[in-house]
Amino acid sequence: MALADYRLCDVCGCKTFYDASLNYEFPENSEYVLERLGAWRVICVDCAKTHVVVVLEKEKAEHAVIIDRLRELGDVT
């Protein structure tokens, strides 16, 4: 299957899951990406052994030191 049909790991770039059946068609000027998805990160099984995906409430996260570091790394959406 084509590489473009997979959601790739945000850490290593390997195939993580087959996403060809997801709907990527949106109305013009839509604020949404992928049917109401606000943000996402995906990690493969191997990278999940050494990495973690974290979801923080924005209001609380603004005061967290970790958010400043993530912004430096460009990992905050």
Residues in the chain: 77
Average pLDDT, the chain: 76
pLDDT bracket for residue 47 (50, 70, 90): very high
Contact 67, 76 (CB under 8 A): yes
Report residue 47 CA to chain centroid gap: 14
Mean pLDDT of 12-17: 91
Cα separation, 23 vs 34, in Å, equals 6
- pTM over the 0.85 mark: no
Contacts of 11 (CB under 8 A, 6+ apart): 43, 44, 47, 51
What's the confidence (pLDDT) of residue 13? 93
pLDDT bracket for residue 10 (50, 70, 90): very high
